C-alpha cells in the first residue's frame, strides 16, 4: 500500500503542471503569430526559418545554463523559475519590437528561456515522480498540451480583431501567464538540496552532487533517439501538415488546419491516458505500442488520397506520438539516481535536434520529390523507437526511491 505524498509534493505537482501549461501556452501563441510577424516586418519564409533555427540554437544554450543552475542550491526550482522570467521578458520584447533586429533579439532571448523552461519542467517532473513512486510524466505533458491548445485558439480568435501593430496585444498575455507561473514555481516547486563536500544522501533528504554528475551515455543516447523521433514528427506535423493538406491533397480553407488540430487533440487524449497505462502494463510496453500507433498514423497520411484520410492519419499519429517524449524523460530520471537533473538536461538537448530536423529536413525532402516522402523519414524513426522500447523499462534499483519529506 503506497503512502500518500506529503503536502509539499502535492503543491510541487500543481506548480510544475502550471509550468508545463504556461510553456505550451506561450510557445503556441508565438508559433501561430509568425504570419503576423511576416506581414508586420515584410520578411519572407526563409527569414522565418532562420529565426526558428536561431531559437533552437539559443534553446540549446538555455539547456546548458539549466544544467549549471541546477547544481546550485536553488536546484531545478531555480532553473524553472528563472526560465519563466526570461520567457516573460522575451515576449514583451517580441510584442513591442519596432524593428526586425529587435524582434530577432527577442526571439533569441525567448530561445534561451525556452531551453531553461523545457529542462526545468522535466527536471522537476522527474523529481516529483520519484517522490510519488508512480508514473506521472504523461500527465505533466498533458498540461503542456492543454496550454498549447488554449494559446492556439486564443491567437486564432483574436486574429483580425485585436491589433498586432505596433504592439502585439494578445501576445502580451503570454508575459502575464509566464510571470504569474514563475511566482507559483518559486513558492511551490520541489526543492532539492545540494550536497556539501563529504555529505551522504539519505532517502528522506535527497541531495545533488554539484561537481561530478554521472552520465550513462549509452542508454541516454538511446533515449535521445526517442526524443529526436518525437520532435522530428511533432515539428514536421505542426509545420508541414497544412501545406500537405493544401498542396498534396488540393484542399483549401479551414480543412487545411484540421490535420494539425486532430493531432493536437489526440496528443492530449493519449497523455491523459498514458500514466494509468504505464502503471498497468509498464513503460516499455506502452512505448512500443505508442510508437507503432504513431507509425500507423503516419502511414495513413503518406498513403492518403482524400483529406479525410489524412486528418484521420494525423489523429492516429497524435494518439501514439504524444507518449514518447514524456516516457523518454521518465526513463532518463532512473538512469543515474542522484544525478537525474544532469541526465535530463543532456537529454533535453536532443529536443532541439529533432525540432530542427523536423522543420527543415522534411521540407527539403518534400521539395525535392513529394511531401509524402517527407513524412516517411519520421515514420522510420518512430519504428526504430519501437525496436528499442525494451530499454525504456530498465529501472535502476541501486538506491531507494525518494519519499516526500523535507525542505519544501
Cell numbers representing residue 300 in the block: 495513413
Indicate whether 235 and 300 sit together in one domain.
yes
The residue written with cell numbers 498586432 in the block is 164
Cell numbers representing residue 330 in the block: 521518465
d(CA 46, CA 167): 24
Indicate whether 106 and 242 sit together in one domain.
no
Indicate whether 231 and 203 sit together in one domain.
no
Q: Is 35 inside a domain boundary?
A: yes
In sequence order, the 6+-apart residues with CB closer than 8 A to the CB of 386 are: 287, 288, 291, 292, 295
The residue written with cell numbers 532541439 in the block is 352
- Looking at residue 401, what DSSP letter applies? P
Q: Is 351 inside a domain boundary?
A: yes
pLDDT score of 240: 84
Nearest to 348 by CA among 233, 236, 226, 239: 226
Q: Is 279 inside a domain boundary?
A: yes
Instruction: With beta carbons less than 8 A apart as the criterion, state whether 60 and 122 touch.
Output: no
With residue 345 as reference, give the H or E element that holds it: helix 340-356
Query: How many domains are there within the chain?
Result: 2
Q: Is 176 inside a domain boundary?
A: yes
Q: Is 231 inside a domain boundary?
A: yes
Indicate whether 330 and 361 sit together in one domain.
yes
Task: Tell me the torsion sign for CA atoms 95, 100, 102, 106.
Answer: positive
Last residue of a domain, one of 176, 197, 212: 212
pLDDT score of 36: 84
Indicate whether 361 and 272 sit together in one domain.
yes
pLDDT score of 43: 86
Show pLDDT as tens, one digit a residue, over the chain (408 residues). 455 578 899 999 999 999 999 999 999 999 888 878 888 899 887 788 788 889 999 999 999 999 999 999 999 999 999 999 999 999 999 999 999 999 999 999 999 999 999 999 999 999 999 999 999 999 999 999 999 999 988 988 887 888 778 888 999 999 999 999 999 999 999 987 544 444 444 333 344 555 567 788 889 999 999 999 999 999 889 888 888 888 889 888 778 878 888 999 999 999 999 999 999 999 999 999 999 999 999 999 999 999 999 999 999 999 999 999 999 999 998 888 788 999 999 999 999 999 888 877 777 777 676 788 888 888 999 999 999 998 787 544 443 433 333 333
Indicate whether 12 and 153 sit together in one domain.
yes
Indicate whether 293 and 327 sit together in one domain.
yes
Give pTM, 2 decimals. 0.87
Indicate whether 149 and 29 sit together in one domain.
yes
Q: Percent helix, strand, coil in the chain (nearest 5)?
A: 75, 0, 25
Q: Is 405 inside a domain boundary?
A: no
207 three-class SS: strand
Cell numbers representing residue 143 in the block: 498540461
HSE at residue 45, side-chain half, CA atoms within 13 A, is: 5
Indicate whether 375 and 249 sit together in one domain.
yes
Q: Is 408 inside a domain boundary?
A: no
Indicate whether 195 and 218 sit together in one domain.
no
Instruction: With beta carbons less than 8 A apart as the criterion, state whether 339 and 209 touch.
Output: yes
CATH of the domain at 223: 1.20.1250.20
The residue written with cell numbers 537529454 in the block is 347
DSSP codes of every residue in 220-265: HHHHHHHHHHHHHHHHHHHHHHHHIIIIIS---TTHHHHHHHHHHH
d(CA 119, CA 107): 18
Instruction: With beta carbons less than 8 A apart as the criterion, state whether 181 and 56 touch.
Output: no
Give the angle 270-272-276 at the CA atoms, nearest 5°.
Answer: 95
Last residue of a domain, one of 153, 180, 212: 212
Last residue of a domain, one of 191, 212, 233: 212
Q: Is 159 inside a domain boundary?
A: yes
pLDDT score of 238: 86
Indicate whether 103 and 190 sit together in one domain.
yes
Q: What is the pLDDT of residues 175-232, one digit of tens each?
A: 999 999 999 999 999 987 544 444 444 333 344 555 567 788 889 999 999 999 999 9
pLDDT score of 214: 76
Domain limits for position 226: 214-399
Indicate whether 206 and 313 sit together in one domain.
no
Amino acid at each position: 500500500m503506497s503512502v500518500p505524498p506529503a503536502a509539499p509534493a502535492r503543491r510541487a505537482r500543481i506548480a510544475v503542471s502550471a509550468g508545463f501549461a504556461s510553456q505550451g501556452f506561450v510557445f503556441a501563441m508565438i508559433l501561430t503569430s509568425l504570419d503576423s510577424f511576416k506581414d508586420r516586418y515584410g520578411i519572407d519564409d526563409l527569414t522565418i526559418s532562420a529565426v526558428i533555427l536561431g531559437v533552437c540554437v539559443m534553446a540549446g544554450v538555455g539547456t546548458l545554463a539549466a544544467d549549471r543552475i541546477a547544481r546550485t542550491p536553488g536546484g531545478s526550482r531555480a532553473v524553472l523559475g528563472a526560465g519563466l522570467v526570461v520567457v516573460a521578458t522575451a515576449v514583451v520584447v517580441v510584442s513591442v519590437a519596432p524593428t526586425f533586429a529587435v524582434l530577432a533579439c527577442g526571439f533569441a532571448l525567448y530561445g534561451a528561456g525556452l531551453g531553461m523552461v523545457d529542462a526545468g519542467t522535466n527536471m522537476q517532473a522527474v523529481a516529483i515522480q520519484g517522490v510519488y513512486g508512480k508514473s506521472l510524466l504523461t500527465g505533466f505533458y498533458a498540461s503542456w498540451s492543454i496550454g498549447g491548445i488554449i494559446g492556439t485558439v486564443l491567437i486564432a480568435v483574436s486574429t483580425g480583431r485585436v491589433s498586432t501593430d505596433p504592439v502585439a496585444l494578445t501576445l502580451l498575455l503570454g508575459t502575464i501567464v509566464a510571470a504569474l507561473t514563475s511566482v507559483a514555481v518559486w513558492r511551490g516547486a520541489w526543492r532539492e538540496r545540494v550536497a556539501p563536500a563529504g555529505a551522504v544522501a539519505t532517502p528522506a533528504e535527497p541531495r545533488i552532487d554539484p561537481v561530478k554528475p554521472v552520465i550513462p551515455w549509452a542508454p541516454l543516447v538511446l533515449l535521445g533517439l526517442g526524443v529526436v523521433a518525437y520532435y522530428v514528427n511533432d515539428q514536421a506535423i505542426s509545420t508541414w501538415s497544412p501545406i500537405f493538406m493544401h498542396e498534396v491533397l488540393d484542399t483549401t480553407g479551414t480543412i487545411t488546419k484540421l490535420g494539425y488540430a486532430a493531432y493536437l487533440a489526440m496528443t492530449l487524449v493519449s497523455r491523459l491516458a498514458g500514466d494509468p497505462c504505464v502503471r498497468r502494463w509498464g513503460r516499455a510496453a506502452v512505448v512500443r505500442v505508442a510508437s507503432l500507433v504513431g507509425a500507423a498514423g503516419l502511414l495513413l497520411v503518406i498513403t492518403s488520397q482524400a483529406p479525410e484520410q489524412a486528418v484521420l492519419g494525423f489523429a492516429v499519429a497524435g494518439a501514439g506520438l504524444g507518449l514518447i517524449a514524456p516516457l523518454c524523460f521518465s526513463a532518463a530520471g532512473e538512469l543515474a539516481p542522484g544525478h537525474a537533473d544532469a541526465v535530463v538536461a543532456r537529454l533535453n538537448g536532443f529536443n532541439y535536434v529533432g525540432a530542427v530536423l523536423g522543420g527543415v529536413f522534411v521540407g527539403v525532402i518534400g521539395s525535392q520529390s513529394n511531401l509524402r516522402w517527407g513524412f516517411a523519414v519520421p515514420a522510420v524513426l518512430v519504428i526504430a523507437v519501437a525496436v528499442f522500447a525494451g530499454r525504456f523499462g530498465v529501472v535502476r534499483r541501486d538506491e531507494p526511491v525518494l519519499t516526500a519529506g523535507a525542505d519544501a
